[in-house]
Structure 1
Amino acid sequence: MDTLRQAKWIWHPGEVSARNDWSCFRKTFTWPDEEQGRQVSLKLTADSRYVLYVNGHRVGQGPPRSWPFRLAYDEYEISHLLRPGQTNAIAIMVMHFGISNFYYLRGRGGLLAQLEVEGNPPLQGEGQAHVKAATDDTWLAITHPGHDRRSPRMSCQHAFAEKIDARLWDDDWTQPDYKPGPEWRSASVIGPAGCEPWGMPVPRDIPYLTEEPVYPRRIERLSKVKPVQFTAAIDLRNHFYEESTDTANPAEFLGMLTTVVRCKQHCKATLAFIDVGRTFRSCRLDGVHYDESSLTGEAPERFLHFDLEPGDHFLLIDVSGGTHGGGYHFAMDAEEPLEFLSPLSFIQADNLPQTDDKSVFVTLGPFDGGIRYDHRPSPPMNEVHPDYMRAKGLSDVAGLMTLASWVRPVPEALVSQEDVFILSVWKRHDIPLSIPGILQNAVIPGPEPAEVPWFPDADTELVIDFGKELSGYLEFEVEAPEGAVLDFYGFEFMHEGRRQDTYGLDHTLRYICGGGRRRYTSPVRRGLRYCQVTVRNAAAPVRIYYLRMLQSNYPIAEIGQFQSSDPRLNEIWQISQHTTRLCMEDTFVDCPMYEQTFWVGDARNEALINYYLFGADQIVERCLRLVPGSKFQTPFYTNQVPSGWNSVIPNWTFFWVIACMELYRQNGDKTFAADIFPHIEYTLKYYLSRLNDQGLLQIRSWNLLDWAPIDQPNDGIVSHQNMFLVKALTAAAALALVLGNTKAEAFYTVQANRLTAAINAQLWSEEHEAYLDCIHADGRPSDIFSVQTQVVALLCDIPEQAGAETHRLTSVQSNIRLQPDSFVQIGSPFMSFFYYEALAKLGEWDVMIEDMRRQYGQMIDWGATTCWEMYPHFTENRANPNLLTRSHCHAWSAGPAYFLGAYVLGVRSLEPGWSRVLIAPQPGGGLSWARGSVPVPGGGRIDVSWRLESPNPADGSAGEPLMPPALARMHLRIVSPDAIDIEVQPPNGVDAVIEHIRLAPSVASD
């Protein structure tokens, strides 16, 4: 039987692709006694995500991210959950995003499911499955009434924050004895499996993620707080450009936001501009103009203070700018009650739009701008547009009449009230309190709940510390009066009272209690270390039975290990391991909080790190196979997949090609190599077509390598990009040779050599004895030189092929070793990975280890449990310079885990599949001993331990560890599978005493 052939795609009878649509589906069936003992499987998929329940038990959620035309389905064995001789229920909640983001392309709402019983007479023929139930119009459907579809966009990368009203929903809807009311309707059939827009679903190609309950370590802070008066999050991007729901590309616009503020008594008021974008343009209140100089505070928290007289006040804010997605945060507070009204409620005119579906906000515009693609130059913000300039000068509601064609009420659907993010970071009053011992101890769940201190005139706020970064799903059980509000807000960093809020990410959940004791498991994935819980509107104390995270990641054994004589280096390895684990979901993701996005280039380095920690090549293969799916967006392949942002970073594609070759070297799988090679050729053909008359790659795109201020314009000839193209062509040639395709091997070798010659001819500066960063689009050579470009040149063997110019290699090596002050320095842990590769090639072990201690040690000193996206206080070209870093958990930064295993332990593969392995430990950085393990393909591992000792017993210190350079003897112990050919290479000048234990196979061969 063809998989899922009997199931039909279904949806509720409403809108086919509504914004932020959570819908529920049910099917009941009887389970005869005689069918006990048979295997029962449920296969399903959904657009966009689902949560599956069987007889009230939460079974799992999915599907894994995938292209809509190759949507994956999941399969669960559920026989242990069925009740023989009784009614059984399958209940599925589907979360349809209704927008594109960085890990989903908008399709339409849909559910496809099929329940199968293993074949055995008398059900059907031997070995065939019997379909017990499949999605069709006999399933019942309802749009989740307790979910607020107006909850705001979390960010451009994510879908929506979460607002749940438990008063409006019966938690028993998943139970078999639940009695659906008339609001449940028969599902509508969309079409059979294989219909548009999905095509025929394919089996899941990755293991199911873990769900490990993790409880908090302690309560970090207790406060009595009072909220500000009015907040809202407005989706201006969707409002100005309705078509933007189909893309995650950036948008720009010129526009105004207006509302009317009413107050009955004179009062002082504060208008907050918190996380509203990169710049503040201006605003007007009753015609009075306020500019940047009028604001207090520092970005991203700026404030405007003014006096309000009794009456109505016309507020106009210039909201022009660019946005990928996310909410525009509007917030205002005052000493006296304020009321907000739509400006259109003051005007009755046929030429102005009138609608019942309107919020208190009205916009003017957009006067200019639009969706942008492929990092093309931004369209000019045409401030001389006459209607835009007229709009900037409006002083009252009547003025809207003069610009009637630009006036648009903001629909209620695009306005979220209240804005939980703003309420979490900006408070009218915040009074810290001592934490009662009984409350502190209650973070570890026990038989008695923790009663939250209750104040009749204020809210109670707890900041809970989980002790380390986590990634997964919040789950809690509380006893609370009906109508009590619980606001949850996750963030990553606190240190000595200082905390970093998640600007750019609405990382919140609002739960309105239904009364009594309730449990809730959020279906929205979150990354956090700290969780702020604010109890509002409670008529009586709230009791918390538990709050925990269901830690969810790729299922992996922690095979890789590392310890050494340097405790600081050990901590760096530990945070590198934890970071990598958290960033392994259904693909590698850059970070578990801000983005959860599979960035293609990041994954090359993350794959190498993973090989040395977990040896998980299946997730690497899945990542690499996803990339060519973006060719319908661009033949150059996008830099993050599957994604609605059609953006290209050429280096990321080149890293993908290199990673394909490295996966073959890891596991020796020629099947993957053969499958992926045509896709490599497809994109390289297009890149080669962009070589200019001088034989260099010149392409307009996001030409990124490092956040540092190297000269890498989005249009021009970028040196590091040309160099990595050489390495990609060389990798393609190597794969072609593996596959026996000598014609392709010769072609890519010739292309790599030609490009190398062009680089050496045109991108070398004799004056500076270094490779320059770029040649601009106007032909102007860059006057900027960077360590980054020299590092890439060395890694791609560019100076080694410079013909008679042999001094170039010496100069490049010197520039990497000495790093001239006039050169741009390494700016990110991501770039440090390539820097460490270069240092390894040069044998600079002391420099590598000392750099790790200094750079990553800063993170340790700040209490980090994971590796940061940037080094502390580095001014990344888009970030707030006051931040230590943006993301505090970023897998592209976890490189030490790879280099400590590959070079300090010294374990490196010499043949594909690790059939021959080199053990060449490097005791750099003053280390006197190290030990650890490195996974090998197939599940085994190699254990290595070494210790340096005095070579001369007469000196009185025989057997005692010594620091280099006094050492001359190394005791080296190796434990390895017998099938692996081990080659040992002690450090230069060291007399090694080697103990090698070979492990016999665990399964006897015939």
Structure 2
Amino acid sequence: MKLETETVEAAWQGQWIWGEGEPSPRNVWRCFRKRFSLTEGNGGDATLRITADSRYVLFVNGTQVGRGPVRSWPFELAYDEYEVGHLLKTDQVNVISVLVTHYGVSTFQYLLGRGGLLAELRQSGQAEPLLVTDATWQTAVHAGYDRHSSRISCQLGFTEIIDSRVWEDSWLDPRSELDWAAAQVIGPAGVEPWTRLVKRPIPYLAEEPLYPSRIETVRAVKPAAWSAVIDLRNHLVPESVHHANNIWFVGYLATVIRLEQPGKVTLGSADDGRVTHTISMNGIWYGPEAYTGDDGERYLTVELPAGDHFVLLHLNSCNHGHGFHFGVDSDQSFQVLSPLPDVEGDSPFVTLGPFDVVEIIDHQPGRELRLDHPDLEKARTLSAPGELQAWTEWVRPIPAALVNLQDVFTSSVWTSVARQQPVPQQLHAMATSGATPGIVPVFAGLDTEIVIDFGRELSGFLAFEIDAAAGTVIDLYGFEYMNGDGWRQQTYQLDNSLRYVCRDGRQSYVSPVRRGLRYVAVTVRGAEREVRWHNLRMIQSHYPVAETGSFQSSDLLLNEIWSLCRHTTRLCMEDTFVDCPAYEQTYWVGDARNEALINYYVFGAKEIVEHSLRLVPGSAFQTPLYADQVPSGWNSAIPNWTFFWVSACLEYYRFSGDARFASEIWPSVRATLDCYRDNLDSQGLLRMKGWNFLDWAPFEQPKDGVVTPQNMFMVKALRDAASLAEAVGEPIETARFMAEAEQLRRAINEHLWDEKLDVYVDCLHPDGRPSATTSMQTQVAASLCGIADGDRARRMGAYLVDPPADFVQIGSPFMSFFYHEALAKQGRLDVLLADIRKQYGTMIDYGATTCWETYAKPDNLAPTRSHCHAWSAGPAYFLGAYVLGVTGLTPGWDRVLIAPHPDSLDWARGSVPLPDGGRIDISWRVDRTIGRMKLRVSAPGSVRLEYQAPEGFELDIESCPVG
């Protein structure tokens, strides 16, 4: 595919640089700086171009300028350009400072490359740059950041633990002369793995400081006495740093607890990282009845005599990369030690294994495996450290680099003491941006935890300013939900924490790690004097959008739902669309199709859509079926997600009118659908092994076989590909894809319709057995994708309006988007709006400020996993497209249909963005007594409007052209 790239050799004179040591170190924070002077007349309109692996924060003369790069493939790495002339001085020394974070592992938005920085400063009209990255730059590893910190989640990089006592910000000051090492040159621009450089294709993200709304609770707390996070995945399968694929491992984790006096000991996990485990103490295995704890928490309490006690954990995991949290608590003094004698420099843990997995019974995380290894069961008999000597073939110490001994998540979640306290009046200043600081209360022998509510879900970078004694520890832990009784939903599978160790005096810190949250638990530990908290804020960061779209109506609930969807969508627009700002921040390709449509009606942004769509074919080296999340180290394909991407490409062309995009993306659309065509079986049906997913619901969508809704969405994708081919002037391909769509539609009707049940079956298993479930998901897909005709089509329409109780019902707002599309296609806005009111009204009843990933779980304190998920923001699209009634008729929307649907509403008004700027303003009011709708429309004169009256009404139109 053609991309806007520059000839690397001609465009860049800077060289890639790094420091001594490992080329791809794990979790390293490396600083670079270059001091320089400018002659008179230079630098006034200077532009700095920069990129790095993995991420950077750029400062010029101490001022933060930007952060990046945007997510991209290493072989098409994006670079940024900043105008910095206004920050440069000709009468003094200048300094460019760059903090580069290198992950050293693959994530769901990054493929492992190697550490590197590339930059150059240029002035307009000059052939030679003012400076470039080369061996004259200085570099040092940032000593304040603990490289042993743990993974945030399997999708993301690392948490941050920073000790401000061992690192000063003088490296940002141009006056400082530092004795740092010279940078090491890797090679010129174009060196592997960054073989092509691509100019940033989207605007820079907006950043604005937002402050909390209130102090929620204050508690005097005491954490579990000892805890750690272990990267079992990278230890047991070292090559897994190169990818983010699921791996299976089965083995044992061993350590020793040395107890000085007899006493009660509790050990276990505050978040098991999807590592199923059971515990043996001195050879005695404890069954399920012995453990306590909710969800991810799992604790075992035992009475032990003084002395050494051998702990053995049986591990069983399907793992992408999240850490395993392990803790020990006791009122007695104890140590956690390695079970191997004379081991220095390593952690207090060893593993046995991994042992071979012969057969996987279920691919879902945490499920049992069928194993057949003779040593696996023998190892269960181990009861003392000395017995490990006979297992040298299997025993390996876990390196200290893979163990975080400052486990902030466990310290925040697992508390042996938690006493509720009144909120002091003076502490409320902590939740404001005023000049008066909040004074943190101190409780003898305990830490102080303060839960702060930002009032709504946010996404960005935490920042604070405090005055404290050196060594005071500030722990921050972000989460999304508390109920009215003070119960908090812990972020299991998400280590959303930060530890800051204070130097003496007044100080501030801005985290470079993006987080999503609503609440922050701030815990002050070990304060030797008064802690004065000046402010806490979130630097809200999102794609820069104008609030062009709007919606109001006579239904206050629908108005609130629309606002909920707008805020959700904005939070999930980063450098691509992302699923959620907290747990993953992953660009899921299928999610983004729906999110793009929502965006068109709320913000009208185009560049983010095009950038997201163009990233997808880059995954062809992983799979010609295209990956379901990109760019990612997880080589995973969900066929439906690729089909939705095909539809999104056509929809973007129809919204933007960008013929160049259509022409350039078309070969990739054709290529992947041809690969899917190669997976049709002898019956002409798509038969796939893999993740055949559509909805979080208990209908049969097996990992092998013919999955019916998947076949149906392929029909739609083939038709959409035909429309794209027609747009780019490929009539032969248009006819071919339409013919293939019809052939697949006929095969579906021949082989996947159950005449007796009057439904489409959910799947055919590899042995030919049809599904035992019957689902709304499949019937919705049949209706939306135009599979049925005649009586079958009428049957599908009846199912949409009155879903049978014995059908598997829709399980997520994502699937509801397709349901609502099918209802809109049938003209049943009454059913569509009733469903929106019911499902999203429940979220609002829970106090939601953003749309949930799933619908509320009955009788569950935690109503959903992710409380902010843009695949759920569909109502904003349907209210604009159908209630206001605005849809484009031609690519680029130079012709627009205005066809309002009032349903039970008395009036509605709002705005819909246009693709090239501007908007269409709509307001209507109905008078049912005379069957008339008064409609007022304001639109640019260049847009041709066509009107369609709702059934049962005549239109009184007032048109107000703009421009």
Q: Is 1:405 matched up with 2:393?
A: yes
2:758, 2:355 → 1: CA distance?
50
Aligned to 1:21: 28
Deviation at 1:200, TM superposition (A): 2.6
Deviations 1:343-395 (A, max 9, x none): 102xxxxxxxx7533111111110124999x9799998344422111111211
Paired residue for 1:549, among 538, 551, 566? 538
Deviates more, 1:970-979 or 1:647-656: 970-979
Aligned to 1:170: 168
2:81, 2:765 → 1: CA distance?
53
Deviates more, 1:494-503 or 1:295-304: 295-304
* Residue identity opposite 2:388 in structure 1: L
Q: Is 1:885 matched up with 2:864?
A: yes
1:371, 1:100 → 2: CA distance?
27
- TM alignment of 1:308-457, pairs within 5 A: 308-345=304-341, 356-369=344-357, 381-457=369-445
Deviations 1:627-672 (A, max 9, x none): 0000000000000000000001000000000000001110111100
Q: Is the 8 A contact 2:273 2:322 kept in 1?
A: no
- TM alignment of 1:244-643, pairs within 5 A: 244-278=240-274, 280-345=276-341, 356-369=344-357, 381-496=369-484, 497-643=486-632
Deviation at 1:34, TM superposition (A): 2.7
Q: Is the 8 A contact 1:375 1:702 kept in 2?
A: no
Deviations 1:293-345 (A, max 9, x none): 21123332222111121111111111222211111000111111111111102
Aligned to 1:866: 850
Quick one: structure 1 residues 453 and 836, their matched pair in 2 at CA, closer, same or farther if it must change by over 3 Å? same
1:288, 1:735 → 2: CA distance?
65
Deviations 1:43-86 (A, max 9, x none): 01000000000000011100000000000000100011112221
Deviates more, 1:66-75 or 1:509-518: 509-518
Q: Is 1:93 matched up with 2:99?
A: yes
Secondary structure of 2:696's match?
Answer: coil
Aligned to 2:202: 206
1:371, 1:505 → 2: CA distance?
29
Aligned to 2:39: 32
2:159, 2:841 → 1: CA distance?
35
2:730, 2:196 → 1: CA distance?
33
Secondary structure of 2:518's match?
Answer: strand
- TM alignment of 1:991-1006, pairs within 5 A: 991-1000=954-963
1:745, 1:971 → 2: CA distance?
42
* Residue identity opposite 2:122 in structure 1: E
1:722, 1:418 → 2: CA distance?
49
Aligned to 1:933: 911
Q: Is the 8 A contact 1:32 1:86 kept in 2?
A: no
Aligned to 2:668: 679
Q: Is 1:156 matched up with 2:154?
A: yes
Deviations 1:664-721 (A, max 9, x none): 1101111000000000111111100110011110010100111111111010001111
Secondary structure of 2:839's match?
Answer: helix
Deviations 1:864-901 (A, max 9, x none): 000000001169xxxxx653100000000000000000
Deviation at 1:928, TM superposition (A): 1.1
Q: Is 1:979 matched up with 2:942?
A: yes
Superposition CA RMSD, Å:
1.8
1:816, 1:68 → 2: CA distance?
45
Deviations 1:227-250 (A, max 9, x none): 210100000001101101001001
Aligned to 2:765: 776
1:972, 1:437 → 2: CA distance?
53
Quick one: structure 1 residues 3 and 380, their matched pair in 2 at CA, closer, same or farther if it must change by over 3 Å? farther
Q: Is 1:104 matched up with 2:100?
A: no
Secondary structure of 2:431's match?
Answer: coil
2:800, 2:731 → 1: CA distance?
36
1:336, 1:832 → 2: CA distance?
54
Paired residue for 1:789, among 767, 778, 783? 778
Q: Is the 8 A contact 1:4 1:113 kept in 2?
A: no
Q: Is 1:143 matched up with 2:122?
A: no
Deviation at 1:251, TM superposition (A): 1.1
Secondary structure of 2:958's match?
Answer: strand
* Residue identity opposite 1:566 in structure 2: D
Q: Is the 8 A contact 2:590 2:628 kept in 1?
A: yes
Aligned to 1:695: 684
* Residue identity opposite 1:117 in structure 2: Q
TM-score (norm 1): 0.93
Deviates more, 1:313-322 or 1:525-534: 313-322
Aligned length: 955
- TM alignment of 1:715-794, pairs within 5 A: 715-794=704-783
* Residue identity opposite 2:900 in structure 1: P
Paired residue for 1:851, among 826, 831, 835? 835
Secondary structure of 2:924's match?
Answer: strand
Q: Is the 8 A contact 2:278 2:313 kept in 1?
A: yes
Q: Is the 8 A contact 1:252 1:370 kept in 2?
A: no
Secondary structure of 2:474's match?
Answer: strand
Aligned to 2:794: 810
Quick one: structure 1 residues 457 and 783, their matched pair in 2 at CA, closer, same or farther if it must change by over 3 Å? closer
Q: Is the 8 A contact 1:4 1:43 kept in 2?
A: no
Quick one: structure 1 residues 280 and 673, their matched pair in 2 at CA, closer, same or farther if it must change by over 3 Å? closer
Deviation at 1:447, TM superposition (A): 2.1
Aligned to 2:4: none
Deviation at 1:172, TM superposition (A): 1.7
* Residue identity opposite 1:219 in structure 2: I
Deviation at 1:277, TM superposition (A): 4.4
Deviations 1:401-454 (A, max 9, x none): 222210001111111012100111111111111112221134212222222112
Secondary structure of 1:992's match?
Answer: strand
* 5+ residue gaps, structure 1: 120-127, 346-353, 801-805, 876-880, 953-967, 1001-1006
1:602, 1:381 → 2: CA distance?
31
Deviates more, 1:863-872 or 1:789-798: 789-798
Paired residue for 1:945, among 914, 923, 933? 923
Aligned to 1:70: 76
Q: Is the 8 A contact 1:314 1:396 kept in 2?
A: yes
Secondary structure of 2:488's match?
Answer: strand
* 5+ residue gaps, structure 2: 1-6
1:302, 1:614 → 2: CA distance?
45
Deviations 1:602-633 (A, max 9, x none): 00000000000000011111000000000000
Deviations 1:737-770 (A, max 9, x none): 1111111111111111111111111111111111
1:95, 1:382 → 2: CA distance?
40
* Residue identity opposite 2:869 in structure 1: H
1:137, 1:375 → 2: CA distance?
49
2:275, 2:86 → 1: CA distance?
57
Aligned to 2:216: 220
Q: Is the 8 A contact 2:357 2:372 kept in 1?
A: no
Secondary structure of 1:441's match?
Answer: helix
Aligned to 1:1003: none
Quick one: structure 1 residues 8 and 231, their matched pair in 2 at CA, closer, same or farther if it must change by over 3 Å? same
TM-score (norm 2): 0.97
Deviation at 1:929, TM superposition (A): 1.1
